[in-house]
Structure 1
Amino acid sequence: MQFNFDSTEPIYQQVAAQLEEAIFTGGFNEDDQVPSTTEISKQFHINPATVLKGMNLLVAKDLIEKKRGLGMFVKQGAKDKIMHQRRESFYSDYVLNLVQEAQKLGLTQDKLEQLISRGYQNDDTTR
């Protein structure tokens, strides 16, 4: 985990985003225990209440759960929930804008699909 203390994004949101990313990328699997608020706060010199506030964002999103006396654990289906949310965000943040710009340029759906295919063919990161 790395925190940008100069960022306009609050630290608690950075905690939540980084834990969510770790769940999404397999750093924490379903039923895994996530580091305690104390561990994170000591390691990164962050107020424990700030860390807890970030974790509570993930509890509210139903990604982690508090097991009394044991700690916080990744819930079953958390990765799928993150995937679904990210796909919806991708659609609303990128696809809709892409289609609107394509329409402004007079591109048909077929032409847009050709351009997307071309992008996949030229993108070395997907190989």
Structure 2
Amino acid sequence: MQFNFNSTEPIYLQVADQIEEAIFTETFAEGEQIPSTTEISKEFHINPATVLKGMNILVDAQLIEKRRGVGMFVIAGAQQRIVEKRRDQFYTDYVKKLVAEAQKLHITQDELAKLIERGFSES
């Protein structure tokens, strides 16, 4: 995990983002225990309450669960929930804007599909 203490993004959101990314990339597998609030706070010199606030975002998103006296664990299906969330975000952030710009340029759906295919073949 890496945190940018000079960023305008609050540290607790960075904590949530970093753990979510680790779940997405299967660094933390489903059913696996993640580092504790204390471990993260000591290793990265972050207030434990800040770390907990970030973890609670993931608890609310049903990506991790608290097991009293044991720790935090990745919930089954967490990676798939992240994929679905990111696909929705991809649609909102990129596809809708791409289609809007294509329409302004009078690019048809078929032409746009060909451009996308070209992009895939050139990468």
What is the TM-score normalised by the length of structure 1?
Answer: 0.96
Structure 2: distance between partners of 1:22 and 1:29: 8
- Structure 2: distance between partners of 1:120 and 1:18: 29
Identity %: 67
Inter-partner Cα distance in structure 2 for 1:121 and 1:104: 25
**Aligned counterpart, 1:9:** 9
- For each residue in 1:50-102, what CA deviation from the matched residue of structure 2 results, as whole angstroms up to 9, or x when unmatched? 00000000000000000000000000100000000000010011100000000
Cα RMSD for the two superposed structures:
0.4
Question: After the TM superposition, which residues 1-127 of structure 1 pair with which residues of structure 2 at under 5 Å, given as runs?
Answer: 1-123=1-123
Q: Aligned partners of 1:43 and 1:28: how far apart in 2?
A: 17
Count residues with an aligned counterpart. 123
Unaligned stretches of 5+ residues in structure 2: none
Kindly provide the amino acid, as one letter, of the partner of residue 76 in structure 1: A
Residue 14 of structure 1, CA deviation: 0.1
Question: Deviating runs (4+, > 6 A) in structure 1?
Answer: none
